[in-house]
Chains A and B, each alone.
Chain A
Amino acid sequence: MKITVKLFASFRDGRFKEEVRDTPAGTLCRRIVLELGLKEEELGVVMVNGRHAPLEQELRDGDHLALFPLVGGG
């Protein structure tokens, strides 16, 4: 199946803004995160198709996964 991954902020450095990826059916969000070389503890907002998604969420064909780094300053 095909999914679209969108990266934000510092996650784009050395990677991409947006990429369509081929991935097996039933792939979890977590697997994409690890494939991109990101660590779970770096992640802030994670969403699939504009909604909050836990890393255990299964992706479906055509899904848009967006990953933002953790932002905590004030």
Chain B
Amino acid sequence: MNPLVYLNSQARDGIVSLAALAAAVERFGLSWAEAELLALENGLLPARYQRNRKMLSTAEQLRLARSRVAVIGCGGLGGYVLEELARLGVGRLVAVDPDVFEEHNLNRQLLATPALLGAAKVEAAVARLREVNPAVTVQPQQKAFSVANGAALLAGCALAVDALDSIPVRLELGAVCAGLEIPLVHGAIAGWYGQVTTQFPGDTTLADSYARSGTGIEKELGNPSFTPALVASLEAAEVCKVLLGRGTPLRRRTLVIDLLEMEFVERLD
């Protein structure tokens, strides 16, 4: 019996369970990614995605599984972005961050736990996502993003997610994405405040927000638990839409968020 015949024999109403996929992995020596792709390519939906089913078709789920996305920064924003993209079913993730966990990360960074203090953030991302969704391949890159290594880090990626904590590096990321002609989903946070936009090649939205070289108010305000979770979720929604070509992304629009006054303001380019 070949793996597809096996998966078909195990499927119920077009859905194939985790146990059936695990058996296919075991019996036929497939990777989890190969098993899920085989299912999706043949119109079978892994059961873990069944609550995506009313909003995403099986073909769209396959498209996500075949997509590669780079998440630049694996701290406050990046931890949640990686988690959400892995649960969504984005098949290949590149996690970029030079840092290790420190105690002051514990108030907000999803991947940070006391046991992981001193551990590399990108390695924590690999371990976490293997637990969450073994069909997702995570490529850890424990390095600082720059224009020098940016094109190599983003090679083959459909888009990049800005989860950085540095304005100058953000602008470098914007430049690299423009050079590669891929979209950039931007998020930034400070205390109760945040902003999100999606910059497509040729747009200048990010540069307009950072036209003056200064220090962000996060240096003074810090960041709580909920602001990164919110902004990261908005970024993940943008990633989903851009990968699938659905809906209306925040293109040439920047959403500015004030959670203290609960105000959401939009700026057009």
List residues of A whose CB falls within 8 A of some B CB.
Answer: 8-10, 39-45, 47, 50-52, 54, 66, 68-74
A52 in contact with B267 (CB, 8 Å): yes
B268 in contact with A52 (CB, 8 Å): yes
Once the chains are docked, how many angstroms separate the CA of A73 from the CA of B193? Answer: 10
Give chain B's interface secondary structure class: mixed
Tell me, rounded to whole Å, the shortest Cβ–Cβ distance linking A44 to chain B.
6
Give chain A's interface secondary structure class: mixed
Tell me, rounded to whole Å, the shortest Cβ–Cβ distance linking A54 to chain B.
7
The A-B contact count (CB < 8 A) is: 108
Q: Which residues of B contact A72 (CB under 8 A)?
A: 165-167, 170, 188, 190, 210, 215-216, 218
Q: Which residues of B contact A74 (CB under 8 A)?
A: 73, 75-78, 162-166, 187-189, 228
A50 in contact with B268 (CB, 8 Å): yes
Q: Which residues of A contact B267 (CB under 8 A)?
A: 45, 47, 50-52, 66
A-B pairs with beta carbons under 8 Å apart, 15 shown: A41-B212, A41-B214, A44-B216, A45-B254, A45-B267, A52-B268, A68-B193, A70-B210, A70-B212, A71-B190, A71-B194, A71-B217, A73-B216, A74-B73, A74-B76
Tell me, rounded to whole Å, the shortest Cβ–Cβ distance linking B234 to chain A.
13
Q: Is B256 an interface residue, CB under 8 A from the partner?
A: yes
Q: Given A52-B268, A54-B211, A9–B258 Cβ distance below 8 Å?
A: yes
> Which residue of the partner chain B has the closest CB to A40?
B212
Q: Which residues of B contact A50 (CB under 8 A)?
A: 266-268
B195 in contact with A45 (CB, 8 Å): yes
> Which residue of the partner chain A has the closest CB to B259?
A9
